[in-house]
Amino acid sequence: MTEASQAPIIEWSERYAVGIRVIDGQHREMLDLVNRLLEGLSSGREPAELTESLRELVRCTEHNIATEERLMGEFGLEAAHHRDEHRRLLESVRNFHIRLEPRAVAESSRFLRQWLLGHIEEDDRPFAALLRSRGAT
């Protein structure tokens, strides 16, 4: 069993939805990018292609964080914990030593997938409920 095959592909499901279209779209894109990385690892894609996919995932993650924090401000939410979670993720992402060997990319993509699914469940779902209660869709 290879490193990549230890982390199964996760298909987007409505159970991951938080009910805010823009956030759900970004989360879906992020999960698709993680899956693309894992599929690329298992099929032996070139390291440069994998690394570029990881960079794209990092950019998408940064964009999602900016969107969520912009919505917090627009809807008058003070979500210090949510912002702290974002800062921790960005610090972790920026500290990845994006190397060209598959193991490093696999570790990074697994970490991001676990963080994404956990963050959706523990932080984004309650945050989105507050946004929806203030009129966000």
Residue 4: the pLDDT is 43
CATH code for position 111: 1.20.120.50
Q: Both ends of the chain: CA-CA distance in Å?
A: 43
Query: What does each C-alpha distance from 92 to 2, 21, 112 come to in angstroms?
Result: 25, 27, 9
Residue 67: the pLDDT is 94
Nearest to 109 by CA among 5, 7, 2: 7
User: Is residue 74, in this structure, part of any structural domain at all?
Assistant: yes
Quote helix, strand, coil % in the chain, to nearest 5: 75, 0, 25
Q: What is the pTM of this model?
A: 0.81
What are 67's two structure tokens?
């969107």
- Mean pLDDT, the chain cut into blocks of 10 residues (137 residues total): 56 92 94 85 80 83 90 85 81 62 68 81 88 91
User: Is residue 42, in this structure, part of any structural domain at all?
Assistant: yes
Domain that holds residue 87: 20-133
Residue 34: the pLDDT is 82
User: Is residue 13, in this structure, part of any structural domain at all?
Assistant: no
User: Is residue 57, in this structure, part of any structural domain at all?
Assistant: yes
Neighbours of 110 (CB within 10 A): 18
User: Is residue 109, in this structure, part of any structural domain at all?
Assistant: yes
User: Is residue 3, in this structure, part of any structural domain at all?
Assistant: no
User: Is residue 25, in this structure, part of any structural domain at all?
Assistant: yes
Side-chain-side CA neighbours of 71 within 13 Å: the count stands at 23
Residue 25: the pLDDT is 97
Number of separate domains in the chain: 1
User: Is residue 126, in this structure, part of any structural domain at all?
Assistant: yes
